[in-house]
Amino acid sequence: MKIKYKITLLLLTILVFVNSIETKAADSVINTDPEKDKILVYILRNILTRSHFVVKDMNDNFSEHVYKEFINGLDPSKRYFTQKDLKDFSVYKYKIDNQLLNEDLSFYNLVYGRFIDKIKIAKSLYETILKKPFNFKDKETIDVDYEEVPFAKNEKELVNYWRKQLKLSTLIRIQDKIEKQKSKVEKDKNYKTKNFAELEKDARAEVLKNMDELYVRIEELEHDDWFSTFLNSVVSAFDPHTTYMAPSIKERFDQDMSGKLEGIGARLQKKGIYTEIFELVSGGPAWKEGSLEPGDVILEVAQGDKEPLDIVGMRLSDAIKFIKGKKGTEVRLTVKKKLDGSQKIISIIRDVVELEETFVKSSIVEKDGKKYGIIDLPKFYISFDEKDYRDSAKDMEKEIERLKKQNVTGLLIDLRNNGGGSLKTAIEISGLFIDKGPIVQVKYRGEKPIIKKDTDPKTQWKGAVVILVNEFSASASEIFAAAMQDYKRAVIIGGNQTYGKGTVQSIMPINRFTKYDKDLGYIKMTIQKFYRINGGSTQIEGVYSDIALPNRFSYMKFGERDLNGALVWDKVKQADYVQTNSYQNFSEVINNSKQRIANDSKFKLINEYAKWLKKKQDKTSYSLNYKIFSEENKLEEKGAEKFKSVFDYKSDLTFNSPDYEIPLIKKDSVLGDKRIAWHKNLSKDVYVYEALNVLSELKINPKNQFAKD
């Protein structure tokens, strides 16, 4: 595990704005369609104040939020505005609420106009700085925690900000080049090396090239894109999941969420100027390869052994074109890892991504003479267009029935990385494990909670159940896990707590509220909140595991609780339900597992690794002295060596497909390959192994009682 300070263009962020804005250029400060902007402000203001789950007063606090969000949205790295600019802007700091009530855009026009002027100056600024070699003997540092770094006092200090940013980017590239040279010399003693000055010159040239490419893309942006940033600073005052989507953004959003995935099998999203992994498709090429994770940033894309293409700042649709490709071809992705910031080149062989892998699937494992079923539920899917089309509840019921025929004695349901989906299917799946009763409470603004129930008295599975979760288990996953926990129907094991998203959003076309003929885009707005049947919200808190397992996210800032402006946790009246009393030894099994985990050397190492990752996450200051920078880099690499084998694990368990799938695999080699890869991963999964230990110890109480209506 070789850690590098590969911050690359992250440290040269010129533009990070809300909701991945991208299209064409702003040649002037003048708004070409002020009527459209005023109509958007008017309609959004009325929709949000009347229909959003939260009643929000448009007051001075609201105004201050918009003020900060818009300025930081345009200049998150403090590379354009100075404190003098902020003094000019501050005239409107507590007046924006009143301006919005009158569709007055004076604040927006002032900040936007100043920003455009700064953009025009920036190009000559970085070109001038990069003309001369940097002095890497000076003992100076740079802090990259931009939320805490103040805006420059004046233009002179602003230039110094730029200089440090560019110097660090150059230094990172020099370090990388030196390491590559060493590697090549080890392989070829006759390899001709370059001295430091030559490498420094090459590194500056590369930084300049990337900056030029970035500014070409910045110049493609137009007024509507910048105005979207402003609108998102307004709507985000209600909560972080409420966003404005311009027509082009909504089009790409639909495309990303449609399930029509090709190439590497990953859903991508824009985060500012970066292309980020949003989700991996289970069974896809990237999933099989195993190195990519949600939150990783793709910096460069290479076709086979060709030169990599820098995609930082590229439109998402354009980046996807380079990442996609024909089945059997290789794509090499230069990736910045979310967890530790290290850079890694990941080679993936493209393939057709079967949508089948987003559906329920199962495996059977034998442990201590007993059979257990593993059910992977990647999402709570449903088709609202086709009533007879498969959904996760129907598939889950069918899968359980198949496993019952093979005499499994317990079920392990894997909800890791399940971001949610259909509330309806979450309720129906919960109902498969109880006879009938309340599952979740749903509350609209200003109304009493509505208790959603399972009304079917049939219990599909009466045996032992363990549910495996992590910090990416969210929304509908949390509803299902919470219901099973409240009924004491299942043991919840995994991360300390799930994501904590207890809200529901609705996407509405803004033109629905006006006769205005131009496309105004869409509003994604929070309209409901979820509550457990015990009365507590899943918002912020999520679901705490009965058995918490150390993992790489244990000490990280992660989840709904770490989002600015997230809705608060609260509670409502408990629903009328009775715990199932399913197990004779529920508490004993949990205590046994906790003791095993505390004494297990593998989990101890994982816990140390999690602390190390947290320490790296908290590090924001870097030396700009080459010698010190290099020494720090070596120390990081030495520290990482301890955790090189942190997730190396191999159980003695063998996982197999259920009987019904065997003839399908014989006909479909692709399906067979997917199952082989999945079963191999299961056998190397220490979390699955401990979950199966728990499952094997649970003893069903023959006198259990299921929930009453």
Of the residues 169, 248, 392, 475, only one is catalytic, namely 475
Asked if residues 545 and 494 have their Cβ atoms less than 8 Å apart, the reply is: yes
C-alpha span between 455 and 438 (Å, rounded): 8
Rounded mean pLDDT, 666-683 = 88
pLDDT tens readout for residues 219-262 = 767 788 889 999 999 999 999 999 998 876 655 454 333 234 56
Within-domain flag for 153: yes
Write down the pLDDT at residue 356: 60
Query: 226 and 208 in one domain?
Result: yes
The distance from CA 262 to its chain's CA centroid, rounded to whole angstroms, is 20
Residue 354 — very low, low, confident or very high, per pLDDT cuts 50/70/90?
low
Distances (CA, A) of 692 to 104, 166, 561: 61, 51, 30
pLDDT at 484 over 70: yes
Within-domain flag for 568: yes
Rounded mean pLDDT, 477-489 = 98
How many other C-beta atoms can be found within 10 angstroms of the C-beta atom of residue 446? 7
Name the domain boundary from 299, 333, 352: 352
Query: 304 and 375 in one domain?
Result: no
Write down the pLDDT at residue 387: 66
Write down the pLDDT at residue 258: 29
Write down the pLDDT at residue 210: 86
Write down the pLDDT at residue 18: 23
Write down the pLDDT at residue 283: 67
CA angle 394, 399, 405 (to 5 degrees): 130
Q: Which residues neighbour 395 within 8 Å (Cβ) at sequence distance 6 or greater?
A: 359, 360
Asked if residues 300 and 351 have their Cβ atoms less than 8 Å apart, the reply is: no
CA angle 332, 336, 341 (to 5 degrees): 150
Which pairing describes strands 437-444 and 450-454: parallel, antiparallel, or unpaired?
Answer: antiparallel
For residue 79, the SS3 value is coil
Write down the pLDDT at residue 329: 92
Cα atoms found within 13 Å of the Cα of residue 351, Cβ hemisphere only: 20
pLDDT tens readout for residues 632-655 = 988 888 888 889 899 899 999 999
CATH number at residue 385: 3.90.226.10
Write down the pLDDT at residue 388: 67
C-alpha span between 434 and 705 (Å, rounded): 9
pLDDT tens readout for residues 570-604 = 999 999 999 999 999 999 999 999 999 999 999 99
Asked if residues 428 and 454 have their Cβ atoms less than 8 Å apart, the reply is: yes
pLDDT at 25 over 50: no
Query: 433 and 540 in one domain?
Result: yes
Distances (CA, A) of 614 to 334, 341, 438, 607, 608: 23, 12, 39, 11, 10
Residue 326 — very low, low, confident or very high, per pLDDT cuts 50/70/90?
confident
Distances (CA, A) of 454 to 392, 457, 572: 16, 8, 20
For residue 464, the SS3 value is strand
Query: 221 and 139 in one domain?
Result: yes
Within-domain flag for 617: no
Q: Which of 427, 441, 443 is nearest to 476 (CA)?
A: 427
Within-domain flag for 181: yes
Q: Is 673 a catalytic residue?
A: no
* Residues facing residue 331 across a β-bridge: 303, 348
Residue bearing the bigger pLDDT, 326 or 383:
326
CATH number at residue 348: 2.30.42.10
Query: 400 and 342 in one domain?
Result: no
Within-domain flag for 474: yes
Query: 327 and 360 in one domain?
Result: no
Our separate counts of H helices and E strands in the chain read 20, 22
Token couple for 222:
């137009």
Rounded mean pLDDT, 67-93 = 95
Of the residues 37, 340, 486, 546, only one is catalytic, namely 486
Within-domain flag for 320: yes
Calculate Rg over the CA atoms of the chain: 27
Query: 303 and 204 in one domain?
Result: no
C-alpha span between 659 and 364 (Å, rounded): 9
**CA torsion, ordered 55, 44, 254, 241, to nearest 10 deg:** -30
Query: 571 and 440 in one domain?
Result: yes
Within-domain flag for 497: yes
C-alpha span between 235 and 65 (Å, rounded): 10
Name the domain boundary from 352, 372, 392: 352
C-alpha span between 565 and 54 (Å, rounded): 11
pLDDT tens readout for residues 262-272 = 688 888 887 76
Minimum mean pLDDT range among 151-165, 308-322, 394-408: 308-322
Write down the pLDDT at residue 279: 79
Which H or E run contains 95?
none
pLDDT tens readout for residues 662-671 = 999 998 777 8
For residue 531, the SS3 value is strand
* Residues facing residue 412 across a β-bridge: 374, 466
First to last CA, the chain: 55
**Domains: count for the chain:** 3
pLDDT at 707 over 50: no
Query: 360 and 281 in one domain?
Result: no
* Stated pTM of the model: 0.77
> Containing domain of residue 297, as a range?
262-352
Residue 353 — very low, low, confident or very high, per pLDDT cuts 50/70/90?
confident
Q: Which residues neighbour 357 within 8 Å (Cβ) at sequence distance 6 or greater?
A: 281, 282, 283, 284, 287, 378, 674
pLDDT tens readout for residues 392-450 = 999 999 999 999 999 999 999 999 999 988 899 999 999 999 999 999 999 999 999 99
Of the residues 6, 167, 177, 501, only one is catalytic, namely 501
The distance from CA 16 to its chain's CA centroid, rounded to whole angstroms, is 17
Asked if residues 293 and 470 have their Cβ atoms less than 8 Å apart, the reply is: no
One-letter amino acid for residue 604 of the chain: K
Write down the pLDDT at residue 9: 30
Asked if residues 506 and 444 have their Cβ atoms less than 8 Å apart, the reply is: no
Task: Give 538-601 as a DSSP string.
Answer: -TTT--B-SEE---TTTTS--SGGGSTTPPPP-B-PPP-------BSSHHHHHHHHHHHHHH-H
Rounded mean pLDDT, 303-331 = 86
Within-domain flag for 112: yes
Write down the pLDDT at residue 706: 46
Query: 443 and 340 in one domain?
Result: no
pLDDT mean across residues, the chain = 88
Q: Is 475 a catalytic residue?
A: yes
Rounded mean pLDDT, 502-523 = 90
Residue with tokens 């990237």: 286
Write down the pLDDT at residue 616: 86
Q: Which of 221, 207, 431 is nearest to 314 (CA)?
A: 221
Q: Which residues neighbour 284 within 8 Å (Cβ) at sequence distance 6 or greater?
A: 261, 264, 265, 266, 351, 353, 357
pLDDT at 466 over 90: yes
Query: 334 and 185 in one domain?
Result: no
Name the domain boundary from 300, 329, 352: 352
Rounded mean pLDDT, 614-632 = 92
C-alpha span between 398 and 403 (Å, rounded): 9
Residue 32 — very low, low, confident or very high, per pLDDT cuts 50/70/90?
low
C-alpha span between 161 and 156 (Å, rounded): 9
Asked if residues 198 and 173 have their Cβ atoms less than 8 Å apart, the reply is: no
pLDDT at 6 over 50: no
Minimum mean pLDDT range among 148-152, 298-302, 454-458, 681-685: 454-458
Q: Which of 234, 240, 292, 229 is nearest to 263 (CA)?
A: 292
Burial class (CB in 10 A: 0-12, 13-18, 19+), 687: buried
Write down the pLDDT at residue 385: 59
pLDDT tens readout for residues 89-136 = 999 999 999 999 999 999 999 999 999 999 999 989 999 999 999 999
Write down the pLDDT at residue 518: 87
Query: 374 and 325 in one domain?
Result: no
pLDDT tens readout for residues 516-568 = 888 899 999 999 999 999 999 999 999 999 999 999 989 988 799 989 899 99
pLDDT at 381 over 90: no
